[in-house]
Structure 1
């Protein structure tokens, strides 16, 4: 048996308390009944003391109670032996679209343990593998979880997609061998469309192991043709984007450069952008439009996104996120140089957050591949805390024993009048 939190065993020093109480307990003195004290003479009292345990069985019960409670806090575990499989193969489900990989995996499944590279590592079953398209797994998260597998060796068949690398590189104690079986083919997938009146612009992504780019193609389609062709594909119908600008006299240059940037964006996106200059008293706070606030005064509350002027010489970019959601800061004054060097128009474009559905669909088809040397987690020795997690928890049995001992102690105390 071992303990996950052995430091709690210091609490066993509390066993001294019931022992001391039982040592100090005084026995009732003997009472001698006499008919008269007439012939009794006064004498000096004699005192004697001795150390003797009283109520031994009650003391034993109380010491057991403290011991069991301390053991529960220390989280006891029993050692038990488990047979590890010699090797386990983890297969990324999207690889099974390749007949060669499918054949290899089926043959391995007849002799060794094969599981899917996804949460909980379900066992590989050839007959239920139909839809091989799935989201790219989080490789580093699953590498940490793979340490719980009862196996001596792990081999991972993977696509090694860049999109599967998220978070901080982990350190694991199991040596995992990664094998890249990505076929490296160039794929073109339709991810959405942008509708401008009767004209529709098809958006496709072209991706391989090194590139990920968009392709646009304009067509004239009727509404019925659009509904037929773009089933389960997002279609965005363009609407006029409105921008409200409040500018004080000292910010005339900033007003001019921001307007020019929005007009350039409208031309590039082929989307109408309406720019509205307003006086402070005419501002509509219920509008969801973008607000550009070029003033040192506090901006009014609005339901839409707002860009406030807040000078910050230590800022990394000309526009930075603010303290709240949908709040941005213009961190300095604008001129003809920094609007180009700091990419003002591109930063304003990010605020619009256009085509989120199309971008989300496009992420599924990012087939860029990472070098395996960069993909692998760091290797390190297993920590003691990780090793100690293996074992059978016996706390629930100790809770039952504790309940029985409490009832027994109370019953014996009542019987012995303690």
Structure 2
């Protein structure tokens, strides 16, 4: 059920509430005892309470309360209080990633299941890709226990930040989110985004792996008579790679004059090095094969040419291995860009009604009342003396 909720934008200004101690300190310090003056015996004199003394005490208390209220309202103005019409008092949104479900133990899943059931209105959603409405992401709490994943395999790369930005578009800005994910790099493949919703991160820290990437490539080298020198350098570079690095490279050498008969063989490879000046046949340029032409290997006479060739062959595999096995710190995951002042003000307008105008009006009224109360005893005393 949505209800009005009092929210503030600049919580640091609440430190101004310490100024409330100033009127209290002045009030306590000003209550000094009067000086005792020796006088004749007054035991027979009837002591009466002065109405003016009682009135002065009452006035002091009223002034103290009014001045405290003035400072309290001023702090509320600086803190930018507003009524949040979209405040949701129901359960938090719980988001869980496939990688967390895959890597978590049965005890961790049981703990999440119990926390969902303890909530009166559990709302569990799966983060598994972009361009999905919130309704299609919904999961039953029992699906957490029933999930069976292969802990030895890595999951599909994901951008948790972009998914959060997409999901929060359908939520009130004050809706709190409980997010369960791992610290694997491939779960955060993208730029960070600004998020207005409060997020409670539950990050499962996976241990770093020390295994080396298994690099493999099936290669077709298509050449003609004009590129024999470059072909010789490529042969030498491939021999150097296979002799010094743990790589598995299978090579098929195809002469351009016989390419028509070997199109099927070339199409079965992961990479094609094309050392021909004429355009590559359309049958091979289908996007499924990585094409390396002679222009990309201009430095074939350099000493570091084997490294250049290895970069061309294994760059994508190395990047994938690093993404799967690298780990992020808690700070790298949770530290998101801050919302600037203009966006914060727009968020406040969207969420609810600002109260600073009403608070300023209340402050003016309190100031007028304070002036009237502080001047009233002196005017009353002057009127009594005149009579």
Tell me: higher relative CO, structure 1 or 2? Use CA pairs within 8 A at least 6 residues apart.
2
- TM-score normalised by L of structure 2: 0.47
- TM-score normalised by L of structure 1: 0.44
More helix by share: 2
